[in-house]
A and B are shown apart, each in its own frame.
Chain A
């Protein structure tokens, strides 16, 4: 109780947190170059790769980055993130198709609804720890799935079809794949940059302190639950944004997006790429989405291969691809 009061008066000094590595300027200066490289790659790659496929990768990559924000920086494992991804998609699709709202407003609405859902789920989930928190997220996501199944506007397993792509700010025609690509790429880039800024801000240090030793963070006077809830909501909103964009790109919102298998997939992406790294989830999303597309010839064995990847990642590469590289070069990635 006294902690809360203390917080109201003054938030403790972040620099006073002991035992948490203070990222010096040099140790993450290379991120600037990485972001420039990312921007360049995003600019030129549609000349070589099918843009719709790239947009799908970016939507899932943003989803995985959002998920990792929770797991990697706060240690909270959610098995219900599909709820936010799917809810964003449904709201955006409905807003664009039925309410005929402009695309940017529809996407904003989808993001805000995921944020609100994140508030409800987060507020309930963060009251518990470890497996219990995970179980709450799983259970609540199943309830969201139930609503998606029952609610008249979601179209049950047919989904919401024929969502119009519209024109952005009444200028840019999004029916053109290349136009839409650059819009999605811009949003994606800005979001990843924002997540990076967040992780290397004072807030990010508090999060690391919470993950390292929650009891100590509390004793230092931080309102840990407030931080957890804030990060939960941020993660939910970004997941919702990813789902909203996917609904616009594919012009459909469907039950698969709120299904537990999607929650499992985002865990897989993050695990493969590297939990707690910035670029890991992006790489992980690329690997998983590509495997869905290019392993399609293996038919029923795709799921087997995914399971095998799960097992091998947990046993041998718990740090993930990017995590391993990051350790090798001794810098965060």
Chain B
């Protein structure tokens, strides 16, 4: 009764306002980019993500029909309470319709739950935790870009294909490192490989020489680093210092980015393989996206930033198609449409909220390579089909697909 009353009041109000588009709440479409602007993920997300979102909005001319699209952004500082406070305030008082990007897994998991409770839309581009579409999946949340499952599985398969059998792991002692190890070790043993050892180091460790010499002594032929950021950069630099070359012990690192490669320097990074969700030099669409981003931001977009662009674009298309910004209808449309843009040639959103698209196995070029541009430092080794990368629904713990 109450709802019906509210609805008729709303309907009346919008009719009076001209009835341009009767189903848009409060006559704006409001998108909030909640991201890490000051912490360790700020170079992969941060202001770059805001720029990417703006690019997508500009493609629609800043409005759908006559309804303006508004973009707000905030820094969650990797603190769940700061992120949650902002997200709550956005949904409760500022009438934000969709939240994008996120970042650290604690913030992402917390916002996932909040958005479900408030029945709005959240699209994750920054975070890697695969729990967002597994045990913590939500009908209101879509995980767009990458996750630890897809990168770990793609990497383990690619290395197994090329003959890597005996693995040694050096990983970050946190949920990220452990979950990456879990999916990789499962894939490795299924492919007949074996794991000779694993070492878990605290975040922010300076010296890896002890771990590296243990790995050298183990007799492994693949050394996998399940860490990221500065910890990863230090690991690789020291592995090279201790004489590890691809010939005797191949180094792989599933979830790193081009920026990490740049930090290591070309010489030490040569031959490193990793998995990326976005490669700027794939086709005309990706090149155009990268160029436009470069024009606005002064560098090429990382996977999370390209993902934000793609997600905002798809979200706005869904609103355009359904002529409403009501979460249920938009989500239904998002789940039903194929995604094809400058980020990925072909993707689809699954029932568990996973956006499945192809992933790219990348390799860092060495100093002898003739290409000079910073962003030419990596090359594509192989494409991994979406279904071979992401977690199969049969393995999922997501209540939505049970």
Residues 181-212 of A, flagged 1 when their CB comes within 8 A of B and 0 if not, give 00000000000000000000000000000000
Write out the residue numbers on chain A whose beta carbons fall within 8 Å of the beta carbon of B110.
Answer: 159, 161, 250-252
Determine if B227 is an interface residue (Cβ-Cβ < 8 Å).
Answer: no
Is A292 touching B38 in the complex (CB atoms < 8 A)?
no
* A-contacting residues, B167-187, CB 8 Å: 173-176, 178
Chain B contributes a number of interface residues (CB within 8 A of A) equal to 36
* CB within 8 Å of A: which B74-117 residues: 74-75, 77-82, 84-86, 88-89, 92-93, 104-106, 109-110, 113
Instruction: Please determine whether B105 and A56 come into contact, CB atoms closer than 8 angstroms.
Output: no
Contact A254 B106 (CB under 8 A): yes
Question: Interface size (A, Cβ < 8 Å)?
Answer: 31
Asked if B46 is at the interface (CB within 8 A of a chain A CB), the reply is yes
Chain A residues with CB below 8 A from B51, complex form: none
Stretch at the interface among A16-24, A64-72, A100-108, A297-305: A297-305
Q: Are A53 and B89 in contact (CB under 8 A)?
A: yes
Partner of A292, one of B82, B88, B173: B82
The verdict on A237 contacting chain B, using a C-beta distance below 8 Å, is: no
Residue interface mask A24-65, B partner, CB < 8 A = 1: 000000000000000000000000001011001000000000
B175–A157 touching, CB < 8 Å: yes
Grouping DSSP codes into helix (H, G, I), strand (E, B) and loop, the B interface class, with mixed when no group exceeds half, is helix
CA distance A150 to B201 in the complex (A): 12
Complex CA–CA separation, A141 to B312 (angstroms): 42
Q: Please, what's the 1-or-0 string for B118-157, where 1 marks a CB less than 8 Å from any CB in chain A?
A: 0000000000010100001000000000000000000000
| A292: chain B residues within 8 A (beta carbon) | 77, 79, 82
Contacts of A158 in B (CB 8 A): 105-106, 109, 129, 131, 175
Alpha-carbon separation in the docked complex, A240 to B105 (Å): 25
- CB-based nearest A residue for B74: A296
Measured between beta carbons, the chain A residues less than 8 angstroms from B81 are 56, 246, 250, 252, 254, 256
Taking a contact as CB atoms under 8 Å apart, the answer to whether A299 and B47 are in contact is yes
Residue in A closest to B113 when the chains form the complex, CB atoms: A162
Q: Is B42 an interface residue (CB 8 A)?
A: yes
Cα of A301 to Cα of B37 in the assembled complex, Å: 9
- Determine if A299 and B75 form an interchain contact, defined as CB atoms under 8 angstroms apart: yes
**B37, B85, B105: residue with the most chain A Cβ atoms closer than 10 Å:** B85
A binding-site residues for B, Cβ under 8 Å:
50, 52-53, 56, 146, 149-150, 155-159, 161-162, 177, 246, 250-252, 254-256, 292-293, 296-297, 299-303
Residue positions of B touching A, CB distance < 8 A: 37-38, 42, 46-47, 73-75, 77-82, 84-86, 88-89, 92-93, 104-106, 109-110, 113, 129, 131, 136, 173-176, 178, 202
Known: A250-B80, A250-B110. 15 other contacts (CB 8 A): A50-B92, A50-B93, A53-B85, A156-B175, A158-B175, A177-B92, A252-B80, A254-B79, A254-B81, A256-B106, A296-B74, A297-B74, A299-B47, A301-B38, A303-B38
